[in-house]
Amino acid sequence: MHLFRAIVSATTLAALAGAVGAQTYPNKPIRIIVPYAAGGTSDILARQIGPKLTEAWSQPVIVENKPGANGNVGADFVAKSALDGYTLLFTDLGGLVISPSV
């Protein structure tokens, strides 16, 4: 299941990279926020994808961990960040689907 999520995430990010190729995006470092502790599956996958995005976009991609509240701390951070596409959330759907109903 984790492999499937990784493939879907990587495919989505790759599609986004191709869609913005004609624009000037990205022209500054990109942050990927992982809302879980370092060493987990989401963190490992984000750190594997980060260098590939750095290579594709010719801009640094920084992976940051912001754990807490089952992913809500990191998700809240990304939701409140500037809407410029330079702060991305890399997470599984579990916490995002369940949290609103709790």
Instruction: Provide the domain limits for residue 92.
Output: 2-16+28-101
pLDDT digits (tens, 9 = 90+) for 22-53: 568 999 999 999 999 999 999 999 999 999 99
Single-letter residue type at 99? S
Of 42, 95, 45, 98, the residue nearest 72 (C-alpha): 95
Which residues neighbour 75 within 8 Å (Cβ) at sequence distance 6 or greater? 35, 89, 91, 95, 96, 99
Instruction: Please tell me the pTM assigned to this model.
Output: 0.73
| Percent of the chain clearing pLDDT 70 (strictly above) | 77
CATH number at residue 67: 3.40.190.150
Model confidence pLDDT, tens digit, residues 54-102: 999 999 999 999 999 888 899 999 999 999 999 999 998 877 787 777 7
pLDDT of amino acid 24? 86
Residue 65's beta-bridge partner residues? 34
90 belongs to a structural domain: yes
